Amino acid sequence: MPAKTIYDGKIGMIARLIAKELNAEIAGHAIVICRKNCPKKTHRLVNSLKIEKIHPEIVITANTPYAAVVEFGRAPLLITPKTKQVLKFEKHGETIYTKYARQPARVGQFFMAKSGMEIKEKFPTLVGRVITRGVRV
């Protein structure tokens, strides 16, 4: 019997199974690399990294309000009071009153972009590992 007749019906199914296993393998390695590259000042950002399945893709998300600032950076800020005439805050046990506060610009750390580049370099190895291990049909 020709090979085409035997494999015609199963090729698509095997390709989908390989893609499914490959997605899980890549996602597992990607989250480890993202956590390694992530800044660890308070570990809140590291702990917020999650793998989410958004059909048909697997996405790594960081669920902190400042994740984008850490990744891309931001311009300098001038903080002014919203309702009062002065800002009030404590620093080293002293109460400070001021009309405004300046925050310097922050340079992006691009930890997710760096992680993506590392995964891209490891991609052929991951594909080879999944195919060598085999897919259970």
The DSSP annotation for 48-97 comes to HEEEEEETTEEEEEE-STTHHHHHHEE--EEE--SSSSSEEEEETTEEEE
Give pLDDT tens digits for 53-91: 887 778 888 889 999 999 999 999 999 999 999 999 899
Do the Cβ atoms of 133 and 22 come closer than 8 Å?
Answer: no
Give pLDDT tens digits for 9-42: 677 777 777 777 778 888 888 899 999 999 988 8
Q: Which residues of 28-45 are buried (b: 16+ CB within 10 A; e: fewer)?
A: ebbbebbbebbeeeeeeb
What pLDDT shows up at residue 3? Answer: 46
The domain spans of the chain are 3-73+109-133, 75-106
- pTM summary value: 0.70
DSSP-derived pairing of the beta strands 57-62 and 73-74:
unpaired
